[in-house]
Chains A and B, each alone.
Chain A
Amino acid sequence: MAFKQITSPHAHAAQNTSKVMQLVLWATVPGLAALTIQFGWGSLINVVLAVVTAVACEAAILKLRKRPVAFYLQDYSAVVTAVLLGLALPPLAAWWVVVVGSMFSIIIAKQLYGGLGYNPFNPAMVGYVVLLISFPIQMTTWITPLSLLPDGVSHPGIIESLGIVFGGYSPADGVTGATPLDVFKHSSGLVVDQIYESNPLFSQAAFAGVGWEWVNLGFLAGGIVLLATRIFTWHGPVAMLAAIAVMSLLFWDGGSSESPGSPLMHLFSGASMMGAFFILTDPVSSAVSNRGRLIYGALIGVLVYIIRAWGNYPDAVAFAVLIANFAAPFIDNYTLPRTYGHTDRRRATEKEED
């Protein structure tokens, strides 16, 4: 009788990488649903387009790199990257915007660095930032939320949406508009109360900004599911959201005309929740230890706020995440956990004393 030689452990938990990724995909559903309800078919089209492009690129590159294509595609990581990019892009963006972004994410930001597990930057955010810098107009045109559409105007239907995306037709008047973060960016001179009264984005909102509050709640719900299933730990997301809250409280300034907006508005606007639960939790490009992730998350939160309040862009999750990606290895060096039986934490760069 001869038996196989296999190293321990022999037992293995049922979890595997493709299941983890699939769970992440499922968790984006509430956010995607909210986006679709509030802003029409655009986000769904973005997602599909991005996924098709990403999978095609991933397969092509794997083939070029002579890797088993099917085996690596099964990890679903390309799909996750594409879905997140598609969710971040403005609905009804032209098809080539989505395709270019998706290609960039997969080919440059992921595969050129060695594929899954080796990319130092979040691929979806690299794609996003490249687009934002290259096509600022397309990237900052948002759709008006459902309840604020002018009378008689509705979001384009699925066919019409496809026409806009692929045919280059312009959407009807009133379908595109500002986001809450835009409003604050461009409303110098008004105190917060005035903005809230004068702008229907706020005056008709439940607590943060029409449409956006639901989208953020959707991502929050998905994020909580992932937390509960232990796909990631709470450290990163909580640190980021806490940092945003603290920063916006510190600079709330009593709602003066200088105020960049309330904590609630910042937490539930733009990509706050999506960033906290789906972007900075990308494990590959984040810090590794729990303490490291606290610092990493807080850093992103602070950066998001700084760029929103005083930078040139209304939203900043992508920039903040990329900057923090740079810092992650550095953070890792100083945030090793204290090992059993040691009185101190060590530094990763420590050398054994001879």
Chain B
Amino acid sequence: MRSTWVTPGGVHPPENKHQSVTMPIGSLPIPEKLLVPLSQHIGAPAKACVKVGTKVLKGQKIADATGAVSVPMHAPTSGTVTAIEDRPIAHSSGMSAPCIEITTDGKDTWIEHKGVVDFEHASPQALTKTIADAGIAGMGGAGFPSAIKLSPGHRRPINTLIINATECEPYITADDSAIRERAAEIITGIGILSHILGNPVNILIGIEDNKPEAIAALEPHVADTGISVVSFPTKYPSGGEKQLIYILTGKELPSGQLPADAGMVCINIGTTYAIKRAVVDGEPLISRVTTMTGNACGINRNYETLIGTPVSHMLAHSEFNEHACSRLVMGGPMMGFSLTSAEVPIVKTTNCILAPSYSEIPDDEPAQACIRCGMCAEACPASLLPQQLFWYSQAEDHDRLEAHNLFDCIECGACSYVCPSNIPLVQYYRSSKGEILKAREEKVKSDHARERFEFHQQRMEQAEKDKEAKRAARREAAEKAKATVAANSGTEKEGTGPVPGSAADIIAAAQARAAAKQVSPEEQQAKFERSIAGAEMRVQMATDKLAETNAKQTEDQKNILNAALEGAKQKLEQAQARLAEHVKKHSEQVK
């Protein structure tokens, strides 16, 4: 057996996984309407490529990826696009975002699709493109576009491929049940990954020892493949990327680095299944396994759920009792976020819907004072001091927070879980992180402004100095000239000619310079018109950019773009005003 390493801290919350694995993965009736958000992943939102009224087939692309970090979206079933607008989506802040609504036709008609079975003969680039085109983003939680992880570049050769089958959060069994039922396909998926990454030396499937059935299901398929199934003691949060890397390799990922920097790629096991479907079967990512669990539901099981299925649809088929439900959580009880409405859709990263009863997860008790008992520090997998972070977070002492490595907090919630005073520690960390990032941004901005100002100031001073020097030179020259003139007048009799640099010369030279500088009115007008055209173009560009990014970007980005647009508009107005003035002056002159 491979040796594993033990992470510091960690907690052992009740697992509550057995409820949802009594039945095999099921499927729900196709809901009447599906709501596919354009942003289900990390990166730029996709851009709709269908219109309201477009008939779509299952698997048809309905939104294009935009930019380098993005994924496309596909129709999860056949039907008609009935709306493209902002709808509430699953997000910790309960916000709305652009979605494509598809009214389903119940026929579930596939678009024509085809995969490659002998992927070994395909080029890694082509396979990566297939994965990108299938809209696959990490299905373990974060939703990072998988194709990007698979293109680490030549400077970062990959020697270790880690498949994350930890599923360390309580209640969730989506990966567990998928492994039990689809081990062969998963291993094929891993084979594809291995091929793309140039057959890394180590291929490790990291799995907690509380999933013996899944381990047993994998074992026969990994024989002679070079893939090792590595099981280790169950502890939350072993499934954090950094934690898993340490458990499997004994290496710590240096703060701020990506696994690829250390020659590793970490992929969730659910994602490997999607990759197999995409490559071998030619199916884009349009459904996933989601665990429906919690005592407020009579039926606890896993479903192959279409992306875009409203949570309410799942609840309706799970004997859900609203009055018994203490809260509705998307994700697990440790890191999931609460939903305020059940109308939000299941997305590519939704591994669980948890509807606990009040006895399972009661309402939070009011927080008491921190008694500095240190239980949080004992639980922290990153070896932070959560109680100190909490203290400085309350005091808004950003320097201390950074010195205590706030940004190495993975927000796993282990500290809040054990805190006897019920302090919502993670909430404090999140908001402090936000504040610090904002402060940093502002600092960068103000640094820029300061630099610009200082540069401007310098230039002004320099210009002033130059002018002064010129003036001095002129004065000197004038004096000299005067003296020469005086001398000349005194020595006229001697009959010497005019001396170079006399007053007359200077005046003549100045006139010549002015004449040279003076452009013809026509030329000037042309220049103004050019600058207006330029300014107009910039306004157009800024408007386009703003329209393109509108709504899906953060407030900040929008503000920046708006400011750019305003600036461009002002420049345009100035240019127009100058032209108008010029024309007026010129016509007056002509008169």
A337 at the interface (CB under 8 A from B): yes
- Please classify how large the interface on chain B is, using the bins under 10, 10 to 19, 20 to 34, 35 or more: 35 or more
- B570 proximity list for chain A (CB < 8 A): none
In this complex, what residue of A is CB-closest to B254? A341
B199 at the interface (CB under 8 A from A): no
**Interface residues as binary, A1-37 with B (CB distance below 8 Å gives 1, 0 otherwise):** 1111111111111011101100000000000000000
A117 and B403 contacting across the interface, CB-CB below 8 Å: no
- B430 proximity list for chain A (CB < 8 A): 7
| A289 partner, pick from B13, B338, B340, B377, beta carbons under 8 A | B377
B371 and A77 contacting across the interface, CB-CB below 8 Å: yes
B399 at the interface (CB under 8 A from A): yes
- A2 proximity list for chain B (CB < 8 A): 340-341
Known A-B contacts A10-B338, A346-B403, A348-B404; the reply to A284 vs B372 at CB < 8 A is yes
Known A-B contacts A3-B341, A341-B408; the reply to A11 vs B372 at CB < 8 A is no
B338 and A71 contacting across the interface, CB-CB below 8 Å: no
B372 and A283 contacting across the interface, CB-CB below 8 Å: yes
- A17 proximity list for chain B (CB < 8 A): 368, 371, 373, 420-421
A352 at the interface (CB under 8 A from B): yes
Q: In the bound complex, what is the Cα–Cα distance between A13 and B421 (angstroms)?
A: 11
**Interface residues as binary, A57-87 with B (CB distance below 8 Å gives 1, 0 otherwise):** 0000000000000011001010000000000
A312 at the interface (CB under 8 A from B): no
| B369 partner, pick from A117, A336, A337, beta carbons under 8 A | A117
B384 and A233 contacting across the interface, CB-CB below 8 Å: no
In this complex, what residue of B is CB-closest to A340? B382
B484 at the interface (CB under 8 A from A): no
B399 and A16 contacting across the interface, CB-CB below 8 Å: no
B369 and A115 contacting across the interface, CB-CB below 8 Å: yes
**Interface residues as binary, B365-399 with A (CB distance below 8 Å gives 1, 0 otherwise):** 11011111111011001111101100000000001
Near A by CB (< 8 A), chain B positions 322-342 give 322, 325-329, 331, 333-342
**Interface residues as binary, A321-354 with B (CB distance below 8 Å gives 1, 0 otherwise):** 0000000000010001111111100111111100
B327 and A339 contacting across the interface, CB-CB below 8 Å: no
**Interface residues as binary, A266-285 with B (CB distance below 8 Å gives 1, 0 otherwise):** 00000000000000000110
Q: In the bound complex, what is the Cα–Cα distance between A286 and B377 (angstroms)?
A: 14
Near A by CB (< 8 A), chain B positions 213-242 give 242
A8 and B337 contacting across the interface, CB-CB below 8 Å: yes
| B373 partner, pick from A9, A232, A352, beta carbons under 8 A | A232
B328 and A3 contacting across the interface, CB-CB below 8 Å: yes
- B420 proximity list for chain A (CB < 8 A): 13, 15-17, 19-20
A288 at the interface (CB under 8 A from B): yes
Near B by CB (< 8 A), chain A positions 280-300 give 283-284, 286, 288-290
In this complex, what residue of A is CB-closest to B402? A352
- B37 proximity list for chain A (CB < 8 A): none
B368 and A340 contacting across the interface, CB-CB below 8 Å: no
A3 and B399 contacting across the interface, CB-CB below 8 Å: no
A118 at the interface (CB under 8 A from B): yes
A3 and B325 contacting across the interface, CB-CB below 8 Å: yes
A306 CB to closest chain B CB, in angstroms?
A: 27
A116 at the interface (CB under 8 A from B): yes
A341 and B426 contacting across the interface, CB-CB below 8 Å: no
A116 and B369 contacting across the interface, CB-CB below 8 Å: yes
In this complex, what residue of A is CB-closest to B388? A288
B520 at the interface (CB under 8 A from A): no
- A341 proximity list for chain B (CB < 8 A): 242, 252-257, 382, 408
A186 at the interface (CB under 8 A from B): no
Q: In the bound complex, what is the Cα–Cα distance between A220 and B252 (angstroms)?
A: 39
B424 at the interface (CB under 8 A from A): yes
Known A-B contacts A6-B364, A351-B399; the reply to A11 vs B252 at CB < 8 A is no
A64 CB to closest chain B CB, in angstroms?
A: 17
Which one of A19, A231, A332, A348 has the greatest number of beta carbons of chain B within 10 Å? A348
A233 CB to closest chain B CB, in angstroms?
A: 7
Near A by CB (< 8 A), chain B positions 413-468 give 413-414, 416-418, 420-422, 424, 426-427, 430
Known A-B contacts A11-B417, A15-B418; the reply to A3 vs B342 at CB < 8 A is yes
- B388 proximity list for chain A (CB < 8 A): 288, 332, 348
In this complex, what residue of A is CB-closest to B12? A13
- B408 proximity list for chain A (CB < 8 A): 339-342
- A232 proximity list for chain B (CB < 8 A): 373-374
A269 CB to closest chain B CB, in angstroms?
A: 29
A16 and B374 contacting across the interface, CB-CB below 8 Å: no
Q: In the bound complex, what is the Cα–Cα distance between A45 and B374 (angstroms)?
A: 33
From DSSP, what is the main secondary structure of chain A's interface residues?
A: loop
A51 CB to closest chain B CB, in angstroms?
A: 19
B405 at the interface (CB under 8 A from A): yes
A5 and B369 contacting across the interface, CB-CB below 8 Å: no
Q: In the bound complex, what is the Cα–Cα distance between A125 and B10 (angstroms)?
A: 34
In this complex, what residue of B is CB-closest to A11? B333
Which one of A72, A75, A286 has the greatest number of beta carbons of chain B within 10 Å? A75
- B255 proximity list for chain A (CB < 8 A): 339-342
B152 at the interface (CB under 8 A from A): no
| B338 partner, pick from A3, A115, A332, beta carbons under 8 A | A3
B413 and A8 contacting across the interface, CB-CB below 8 Å: yes
A12 and B371 contacting across the interface, CB-CB below 8 Å: no
Known A-B contacts A1-B322, A17-B368; the reply to A351 vs B374 at CB < 8 A is no
B4 CB to closest chain A CB, in angstroms?
A: 16
A217 CB to closest chain B CB, in angstroms?
A: 26
B296 CB to closest chain A CB, in angstroms?
A: 10
In this complex, what residue of A is CB-closest to B329? A10
**Interface residues as binary, B235-266 with A (CB distance below 8 Å gives 1, 0 otherwise):** 00000001000100000111111000000000
Known A-B contacts A4-B327, A13-B11, A349-B403; the reply to A340 vs B381 at CB < 8 A is yes
B356 at the interface (CB under 8 A from A): yes
- A117 proximity list for chain B (CB < 8 A): 369-372
B170 at the interface (CB under 8 A from A): yes
Q: In the bound complex, what is the Cα–Cα distance between A232 and B341 (angstroms)?
A: 42
- A284 proximity list for chain B (CB < 8 A): 371-372
A70 CB to closest chain B CB, in angstroms?
A: 12
In this complex, what residue of A is CB-closest to B315? A1
In this complex, what residue of B is CB-closest to A343? B254
Q: In the bound complex, what is the Cα–Cα distance between A289 and B341 (angstroms)?
A: 42
A232 CB to closest chain B CB, in angstroms?
A: 7
Q: In the bound complex, what is the Cα–Cα distance between A157 and B426 (angstroms)?
A: 55
A263 CB to closest chain B CB, in angstroms?
A: 29
A339 CB to closest chain B CB, in angstroms?
A: 4
B334 and A336 contacting across the interface, CB-CB below 8 Å: no
A12 and B328 contacting across the interface, CB-CB below 8 Å: no
Which one of B257, B371, B414, B430 has the greatest number of beta carbons of chain A within 10 Å? B371
- B371 proximity list for chain A (CB < 8 A): 17, 20, 77, 116-117, 283-284
- B404 proximity list for chain A (CB < 8 A): 336, 346, 348
Near B by CB (< 8 A), chain A positions 212-256 give 230-233
In this complex, what residue of B is CB-closest to A68? B366
A-B contact pairs, 17 of them (CB 8 A): A3-B338, A8-B331, A9-B334, A10-B336, A15-B418, A16-B368, A17-B373, A20-B371, A20-B420, A75-B369, A117-B369, A332-B388, A336-B385, A336-B404, A339-B405, A342-B254, A347-B403
Residues of B in contact with A (beta carbons under 8 Å apart): 8, 11, 13-14, 92, 94, 170, 242, 246, 252-257, 312, 322, 325-329, 331, 333-342, 354, 356, 361, 363-366, 368-375, 377-378, 381-385, 387-388, 399-400, 402-405, 408, 411, 413-414, 416-418, 420-422, 424, 426-427, 430
Residues of A in contact with B (beta carbons under 8 Å apart): 1-13, 15-17, 19-20, 71-72, 75, 77, 115-118, 230-233, 283-284, 286, 288-290, 332, 336-343, 346-352
Smallest CB-CB A-B distances: 3 pairs: A9-B413, A117-B369, A341-B255
Q: Knowing that A16-B422, A337-B377 touch, tell me 6 more A-B residue pairs with CB under 8 angstroms.
A: A7-B92, A10-B361, A117-B370, A230-B378, A233-B374, A340-B246
